């Protein structure tokens, strides 16, 4: 019989008195309760609900307790701090991390520009320039090849 007890019955009990039920509903609830029992339970559940609302309203949360919990949460989840080159790095401190990253970036570009690019900026004199860009074909030694393809290419007329 208790298998008949479900959310539908509960809803009826909490919302309607026995006299407010229609015939079909009455038939359903009478399988479990007498009309008297039904009305009593109906009243009790309403009283429990009202009392619950009153009690919840009356009970107040302690703001001091909440603050303590928040502080404890912060303390418990404090990010791990590491010491690097005398700098205290806090990975969750965005400003500090950003400033440090930017400084490292600037430093990198200064070193890159001064040291690595320096060799490419060496100015050539005209004499040096000609030396590296002018070729005397007659000075090129005659080739000796056993390779047929090289022979063919060398004999080609352009």
Q: Which residues bind other proteins (CB under 8 A)?
A: 1-3, 5-7, 10, 13, 32-33, 36-37, 40-41, 43-52, 54-56, 58-59, 61-62, 65-66, 68-70, 72-74, 76-77, 79, 94
Specify the DSSP class assigned to residue 139: G
Q: Which residues contact 28 (CB under 8 A, 6 or more apart)?
A: 4, 8, 9, 12
CB of 15 to other proteins, least distance (A): 12
In the complex with other proteins, the residue whose CB is nearer, 72 or 112, is 72
Closest approach, Cβ 28 to other proteins, in A, equals: 13
- Indicate the residue among 76 and 142 with the shorter CB distance to other proteins: 76
- In whole angstroms, the minimum distance from the beta carbon of 32 to other proteins comes to 7
DSSP state of 85: T
Side-chain-facing half-sphere of 91: CA atoms under 13 Å: 6
Contacts of 151 (CB under 8 A, 6+ apart): 145
* Closest separation in Å from C-beta 129 to other proteins: 53
Residue with tokens 């320096």: 118
């Amino acid at each position: 019989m208790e298998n008949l007890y479900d959310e539908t019955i509960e809803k009826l009990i909490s919302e309607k008195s026995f006299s407010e039920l229609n015939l079909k509903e009455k038939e359903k609830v009478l399988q479990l309760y007498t009309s008297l029992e039904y009305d009593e339970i109906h009243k009790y559940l309403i009283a429990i609900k009202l009392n619950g609302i009153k009690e919840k309203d009356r009970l107040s949360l302690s703001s001091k307790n909440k603050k303590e919990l928040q502080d404890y949460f912060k303390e418990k989840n404090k990010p791990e701090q590491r010491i690097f080159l005398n700098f205290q790095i806090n990975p969750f401190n965005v400003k500090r991390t950003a400033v440090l990253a930017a400084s490292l970036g600037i430093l990198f570009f200064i070193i890159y520009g001064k040291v690595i690019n320096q060799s490419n900026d060496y100015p050539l004199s005209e004499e040096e320039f000609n030396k590296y860009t002018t070729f005397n074909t007659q000075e090129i030694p005659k080739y000796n090849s056993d390779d047929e393809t090289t022979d063919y290419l060398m004999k080609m007329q352009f």
